[in-house]
């Protein structure tokens, strides 16, 4: 008789936890989580001040150097001369230079004259005159020595600036409209709320260990990339409650680009802080902590959907009350860059100027401060498009101010190429970079200004050194993602091309096709060809993305 062999009964597989604290997963599941558990990263400041700045770079504990330093805006920069594509091949310490990139957070992009002069002087005294205006409204230095960090903090803090949580798994700088409080098109100015968020929650230890970074944007106008932040609050009229804010959550680009989703609720100005902090708390409690690659809020929002996210936000554990429904407000026509000359509500003018791909210097920022002072202005703003604004210029002195700005290399009437090109840090300083970006983009702008000077509408070009998309590869007309490409059997610096991305009414993620790659040296030819095709075939009012 044939014996039947019993089929082994398999235990049903328990779904793998994602490391969510709210589900009881408190044990660290990767080395980043372990490092944050071992010591609150904010504590590293005492060691920088008391030990590392005294004993020098070689005394720094590696867990602090490559982890906790970020909570104070510090990353090691890339050792010069290491070719692209070495990340993952070389050990991290082989890529590390003994100098730092330091990011100064400027919530809302607002600077007064004393702050601008301080930022400029620090660059000259400690950063070899480097300063980049980033696409998060920060200023970023390079070549910073750990020995100088306490003095830099002392100078920044004396004028009300800081580097706290400028990087790391925490609430990063809050983007704001660079024309908040002066624009004729603004209905509510949320500067006070942005400042309150900075003062109350930056450095709050209950929020300093998030699954990953948390990016925010709060402003009435569509002048920040509101679709690509973890949280964005953008101005909206409610038919019953009046002006307030429409809230979006779960945006982010990088290798898994996703646009934020509207929650369909209306937020009153006075509720901004409360809503903001509860969204951060949801991320802290429910965000995925197992894999770094799935730890951004966008993955949770994608899995839950906007409806469930709203339910959790309004639940007892968080807000504990319902927010008014808000139907989708009209989509803004375009992302505003504020370049040029614009009248303010008080009759003065603001002037938007375009440094090439955000690269400035301490010297130039000092010169900008001189121009501001000459025209009686105490206010300068940075933008999320790597541009600068000078506020409060009297009407009868605008053209003189424009000429003075032009004389220091800050054009209020830039070419369309200069106006709409951005670049990330790239191989010069970034350890993850595969290709050069800033210099390549600067040369590209100069080349295109000669080749296609007749371009009369902006075509945005975002140059990125790797797939991380810090300069928003996927939301440009022409998005460039650095990679090595093969030309005549040799690997050379190049880019994968994403076409047709955009914001606001043109919101879409640029399309890429496998073959769409271009060597760095061929970039000028490639963009010229694309542009000429667009210029000759476009119909009345048709944009590049259409
Ligand atoms: Fe560095 Fe890549 Fe970000 Fe550029 S996109 S700054 S290369 S991480």
Please state, in angstroms and rounded to a whole number, the distance separating the CA atoms of residues 289 and 17: 9
Q: How confident is the model at residue 1 (pLDDT cuts 50, 70, 90)?
A: very low
- What was the pLDDT predicted at 91? 75
What pLDDT does 82 receive?
Answer: 82
**Close Cβ partners of 258 (under 8 Å, ≥ 6 residues apart):** 250, 251, 252, 298, 301, 302
355-366 as b/e: b if 16+ CB within 10 A: bbbbbbbbebbb
Please check the confidence at residue 224 and state whether its pLDDT lies above 50: yes
Give Dmax (Cα) for the chain: 108
29-43, 81-95, 159-173, 175-189: range with lowest mean pLDDT: 81-95
Over the stretch 241-270, which tens digit does the pLDDT of each residue have? 999 999 999 999 988 999 999 999 999 999
- In this prediction, residues 156-165 reach a mean pLDDT of 98
Q: How far is CA 284 from CA 287, 297, 404, in A?
A: 6, 9, 48
Residue-wise pLDDT for 49-85, tens only, equals 999 999 999 999 999 999 999 999 999 999 888 887 7
**Contact criterion met (CB below 8 Å) for 351 and 402:** yes
Per-residue confidence band for 97, with pLDDT thresholds at 50, 70 and 90: confident
**Which of 132, 430, 473 is the pocket-test mutation for ligand 1 (most atoms within 8 Å of CB)?**
430
Residue 63 neighbours by CB under 8 Å, 6+ apart:
35, 38
Pocket of ligand 1 (CB under 6 A): 424-426, 430, 432-433, 464-466, 468-470
Cα-flanking dihedrals φ and ψ of residue 184, to 5°? -70, -20
Q: How far apart are CA 466 and CA 482, in angstroms?
A: 5
Average pLDDT value for the chain: 94
* The pLDDT of residue 313: 98
Note the pLDDT tens digit of each residue in 406-465: 999 999 999 999 999 999 999 999 999 999 999 999 999 999 999 999 999 999 999 999
Q: With 50 as the cut, is the pLDDT of residue 485 above it?
A: yes
Confidence of residue 5 (pLDDT cuts 50, 70, 90): low
544 pLDDT above the threshold of 90: no
Reported ipTM: the value is 0.99
pTM: predicted TM-score of the whole model, two decimal places: 0.94
Residue 75 Cα to ligand 1 midpoint, Å, equals 13
Burial 51-88 (b: 16+ CB within 10 A, else e): ebbeeebeebeebbbbbbbbbbbbbbbbbeebebbbbe
Spatial separation of the C-alpha atoms in residues 19 and 23, rounded to whole Å = 8
Question: What is the CA(33)–ligand 1 centre distance, in A?
Answer: 22
Q: Supply the pLDDT for residue 449.
A: 97
User: How close is the Cα of 181 to the center of ligand 1, in Å?
Assistant: 33
Q: Are 469 and 481 in contact (CB under 8 A)?
A: yes
Distance 103 CA to ligand 1 centre (A): 14
Ligand 1 atom with the shortest distance to the CA of 430: 1
């Amino acid at each position: 008789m044939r014996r039947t062999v019993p089929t082994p009964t398999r235990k049903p597989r328990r779904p793998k936890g994602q490391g969510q604290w709210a589900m009881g997963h408190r044990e660290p599941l990767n080395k980043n989580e372990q490092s944050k558990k071992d010591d609150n990263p904010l504590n590293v400041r005492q060691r920088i001040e008391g030990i590392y700045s005294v004993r020098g770079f070689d005394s720094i504990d590696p867990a602090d150097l490559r982890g906790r330093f970020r909570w104070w805006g510090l990353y090691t920069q890339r050792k010069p001369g290491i070719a692209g594509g070495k990340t993952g091949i070389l050990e991290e310490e082989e890529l590390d230079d003994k100098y730092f990139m330091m990011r100064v957070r400027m919530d809302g992009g607002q600077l007064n004259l004393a702050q601008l002069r301080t930022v400029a002087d620090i660059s000259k005294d400690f950063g070899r005159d480097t300063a980049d205006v980033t696409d998060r409204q920060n200023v970023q230095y390079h070549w910073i020595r750990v020995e100088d960090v306490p003095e830099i903090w002392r100078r920044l803090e004396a004028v009300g600036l800081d580097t706290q949580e400028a990087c790391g798994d925490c609430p990063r700088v809050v983007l704001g409209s660079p024309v908040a409080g002066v624009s004729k098109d603004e209905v509510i100015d949320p500067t006070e709320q942005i400042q309150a968020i900075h003062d109350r929650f930056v450095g709050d230890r209950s929020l300093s260990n998030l699954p990953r970074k948390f990016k925010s944007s709060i402003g009435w106008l569509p002048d920040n990339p509101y679709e690509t932040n973890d949280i964005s609050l953008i101005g909206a009229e409610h038919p019953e409650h009046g002006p307030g804010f429409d809230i979006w959550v779960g945006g982010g680009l990088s290798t898994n680009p996703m646009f934020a989703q509207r929650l369909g609720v209306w937020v009153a100005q006075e509720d901004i802080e409360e809503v903001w902090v509860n969204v951060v708390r949801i991320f802290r409690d429910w965000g995925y902590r197992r894999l770094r690659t799935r730890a951004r809020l966008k993955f949770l929002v994608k899995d839950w959907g906007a409806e469930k996210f709203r339910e959790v936000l309004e639940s007892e554990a968080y807000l504990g009350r319902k927010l008014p429904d808000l139907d989708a407000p009209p989509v803004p026509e375009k992302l505003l860059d504020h370049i040029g000359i614009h009248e303010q509500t008080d009759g003065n003018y603001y002037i938007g100027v375009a440094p090439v791909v955000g690269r400035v210097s301490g010297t130039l920022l000092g010169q900008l401060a001189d121009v501001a002072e000459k025209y009686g202005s105490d206010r300068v703003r940075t933008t999320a498009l790597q541009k600068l604004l000078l506020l409060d210029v009297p009407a009868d002195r605008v053209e003189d101010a424009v000429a003075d700005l032009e004389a220091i290399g800050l054009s209020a009437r830039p070419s369309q190429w200069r106006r709409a090109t951005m670049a990330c840090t790239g191989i010069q300083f970034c350890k993850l970079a595969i290709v050069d970006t800033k210099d390549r983009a600067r040369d590209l702008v100069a080349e295109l200004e000669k080749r296609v000077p007749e371009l009369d509408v902006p075509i945005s070009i975002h140059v990125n050194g790797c797939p991380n998309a810090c300069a928003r590869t996927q939301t440009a007309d022409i998005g460039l993602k650095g990679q090595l490409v093969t030309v005549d059997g040799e690997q050379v610096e190049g880019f994968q091309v994403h076409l047709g991305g955009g914001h606001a009414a043109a919101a879409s993620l640029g399309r890429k096709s496998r073959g769409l790659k271009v060597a760095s040296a061929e970039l000028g030819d490639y963009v010229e060809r694309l542009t000429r095709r667009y210029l000759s075939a476009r119909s009345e009012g048709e944009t590049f993305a259409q």
